[in-house]
């Protein structure tokens, strides 16, 4: 392959800055989550609900996002036998997420079962919507994979899990297996995004956390990049938590990030 034929690392989709921004609802209670959703529903593309909030609040949190007209990323990271993951995927789809995820380390059969279950449940959802007679049509949920958790070091991968492939090869390898199984993308750090983009091409969604605008602190994140650098490095969407949720003016913080994503800052 000639060098000029290689896909570039930065393969931005035609998304607005708002569509690229996912806010992490990392709060433990429904009232706190509702306050964030109310304030930010018009400003951001999606709300990420993780295991902490979901385990505390159940599907009430999905309903709160949907009722506010927001889009939901359920960061449930499924990893179980294929039949169980398929059942979980069906249940999630009926709650209308825009995006949800699983662990690629669950294997090919699990990922294939998840894709089939997502597709089957979406058909049921569409029929249900048609029977109910209109309203906003449901959006087909995008299913993405976690490759290797960024908390897992190269040493832990080799010594604890006895995985012989080096971490920097394991991540794009698992991303390409996920793609072969029909998944739509991955969650990946900014450092991993370009190798995944090269392995999986421009149509594969890359969602990147660990983002810090130049005006905010790092908190406990060790390897951070700015919104603009994440997109330049190959990310399609970014996950931002504390720089928005802990800001004095959360709407202003979200707007500043959207402006940066659109090259207006
Ligand atoms: O507050 P902050 O912007 O650091 O939040 C980032 C969000 O992205 C959190 O919900 C965190 O759990 C999640 N995340 C991450 N790094 C990963 C995977 C997920 O920060 N590798």
Q: Which domain holds residue 169?
A: 2-261
CATH number, domain with residue 208: 3.20.20.70
Give kind and range of the element (H or E) at residue 144: strand 142-146
Closest CA to 15 of 247, 227, 242: 227
Q: Helices 108-132 and 167-180 sit at what angle, rounded to 10 degrees?
A: 50
Q: What pLDDT sits at residue 265? A: 80
Output the pTM of the full model.
0.94
What is the signed CA dihedral for 90, 70, 34, 244, rounded to 10 degrees? 120
242 CA from centroid of ligand 1 (Å): 9
Q: What is the pLDDT of residue 11?
A: 46
Distance CA 77, CA 82 (A): 14
Q: Which of 15, 2, 52, 1 is nearest to 238 (CA)?
A: 15
**For atom 2 of ligand 1, which residue has the closest CA?**
241
Residue-level pLDDT, tens digit, the chain, 265 residues = 333 333 344 444 689 999 999 999 999 999 999 999 999 999 999 999 999 999 999 999 999 999 999 999 999 999 999 999 999 999 999 999 999 999 999 999 999 999 999 999 999 999 999 999 878 789 999 999 999 999 999 999 999 999 999 999 999 999 999 999 999 999 999 999 999 999 999 999 999 999 999 999 999 988 899 999 999 999 999 999 999 999 999 999 999 999 999 998 8
CB of 142 sitting under 6 A from ligand 1: no
Which of 183, 190, 186, 185 is closest to 229 using CA atoms?
190
Instruction: Return the active site residues.
Output: 77
CB of 227 closer than 6 A to ligand 1?
Answer: no
CA–centroid distance, residue 213 to ligand 1 (Å): 14
What is the atom index within ligand 1 of the atom nearest the CA of 240?
3
Domain count, the chain: 1
């Amino acid at each position: 392959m000639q060098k000029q034929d290689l896909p570039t690392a930065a393969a931005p989709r035609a998304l607005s800055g708002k569509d690229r921004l996912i806010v992490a609802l990392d709060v433990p209670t429904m009232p706190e989550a509702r306050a964030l959703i109310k304030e930010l529903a018009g400003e951001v593309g999606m709300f990420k609900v993780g295991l902490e909030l979901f385990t505390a609040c159940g599907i009430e949190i999905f309903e709160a996002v949907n009722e506010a007209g927001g889009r939901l990323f359920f960061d449930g990271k499924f990893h179980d036998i294929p039949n169980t993951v398929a059942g979980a995927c069906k249940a999630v789809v009926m709650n209308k997420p825009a995006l949800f995820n699983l662990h690629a380390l669950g294997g090919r059969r699990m990922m294939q079962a998840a894709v089939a279950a997502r597709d089957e449940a979406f058909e049921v959802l569409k029929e249900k919507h048609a029977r109910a007679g209109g309203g906003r049509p449901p959006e087909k949920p995008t299913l993405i994979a976690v490759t290797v958790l960024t908390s897992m070091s190269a040493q832990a991968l080799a010594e604890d899990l006895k995985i012989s492939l080096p971490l920097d090869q394991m991540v794009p390898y698992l991303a390409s297996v996920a793609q072969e199984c029909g998944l739509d993308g991955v969650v990946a750090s900014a450092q991993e995004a370009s190798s995944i983009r090269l392995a999986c091409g421009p149509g594969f969604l890359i969602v990147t956390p660990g983002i810090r605008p130049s005006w905010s602190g790092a908190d406990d994140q060790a390897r951070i990049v700015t919104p603009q650098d994440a997109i330049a490095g190959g990310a399609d969407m970014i996950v931002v938590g504390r720089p928005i949720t802990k800001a004095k003016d959360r709407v202003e913080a979200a707007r500043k990030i959207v402006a940066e994503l659109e090259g207006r800052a």
